[in-house]
């Protein structure tokens, strides 16, 4: 398995609070991605990174920001969590945009 | 906008049966297509990657085919086992660093 960890694995928070999820990789892959998975919607891309300090928006980026200050870490921040952001969040990595994406174990976030 | 559809949404088969999972996509301009497996409460495990120039890929009991012109891919599982029970997802790489996923087929293999 690719060396990808996500933290925390579970989190319950309240509406309006900031939340940061962390993805850490040991594979030195250039590309990193954040997805959310919801029933009826499948997996949807939130943001991705193609290098240190290089990030771009995905399909459902509103309400989310990201940062990548090191190759191995990609942070996803919800500035002010809303109930609609209750979801399972997955991080993924790949060597290039044409290569296989490898997924982390996921973070289950509940916003009350 | 690329749309990916997987039919059926759920499938139940007896152990030992050969089966086919279907994936269709609306825009044939893809870089590649990936098949993933997801177990309940777990992340996604990559099974096969087919580049747009390829017709099929094989790994063990799994064979994936790609017909870009018709916008279809199939995942063939030979001699199914209860351990194959999971949700199977296909995803198309449309460039711009994005994968577009289908909603998956939930497979149950009965002992």
Mutation pick from A35, A100, A102, A106 vs chain B, by most beta carbons of B within 10 Å, is: A100
**Bridge partner residues of A5 (DSSP):** A24
DSSP code of A71? T
CA A17, A18, A19: angle at the middle one, nearest 5?
Answer: 120
Mutation pick from B86, B97, B105 vs chain A, by most beta carbons of A within 10 Å, is: B97
CB atoms under 10 Å from CB of A56, counted, come to: 14
Q: What is the pLDDT of residues B15-27, one digit of tens each?
A: 999 999 999 999 8
CB distance A42–B97 less than 8 Å?
Answer: no
CB distance A103–B36 less than 8 Å?
Answer: yes
Only one residue has tokens 């997805």, namely A35
pLDDT at A75 over 90: yes
**Nearest to residue B38, comparing CAs of A111, A81, A37?**
A37
CB distance B101–A43 less than 8 Å?
Answer: yes
Average pLDDT (B83-92) is 96
Q: What is the pLDDT of residues A16-28, one digit of tens each?
A: 999 999 999 999 9
What are the Cα distances from residue B23, in Å, to A25, B33, B68, B92, B101? 30, 10, 11, 10, 10
Q: Which residues of B touch A99 (CB under 8 A)?
A: 49
């Amino acid at each position: 398995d690719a060396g990808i960890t996500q933290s925390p694995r579970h989190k319950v928070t309240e509406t309006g609070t900031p939340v940061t999820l962390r993805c850490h990789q040991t594979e030195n892959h250039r590309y990193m991605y954040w997805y959310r998975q919801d029933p009826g919607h499948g997996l949807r891309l939130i943001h991705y990174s193609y290098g240190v300090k290089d990030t771009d928006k995905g399909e459902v980026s509103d309400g989310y920001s990201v940062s990548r200050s090191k190759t191995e870490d990609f942070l996803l921040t919800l500035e002010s969590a809303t109930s609609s952001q209750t979801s399972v969040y997955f991080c993924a990595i790949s060597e290039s945009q044409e290569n296989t994406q490898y997924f982390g174990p996921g973070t289950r976030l509940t916003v009350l | 906008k690329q749309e990916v559809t997987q039919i059926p949404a759920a499938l139940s088969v007896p152990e030992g049966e050969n089966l086919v999972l279907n994936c269709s996509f609306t825009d044939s301009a893809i870089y590649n297509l990936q098949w993933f497996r997801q177990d309940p409460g777990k992340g996604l495990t990559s099974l096969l990657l087919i580049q747009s120039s390829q017709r099929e890929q094989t790994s063990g009991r799994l064979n994936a085919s790609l017909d870009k012109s018709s916008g279809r891919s199939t995942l063939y599982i030979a001699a199914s086992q209860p351990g194959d029970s999971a949700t199977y997802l296909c995803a198309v790489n449309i460039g711009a660093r994005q994968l577009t996923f289908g909603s998956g087929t939930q497979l149950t293999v009965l002992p």
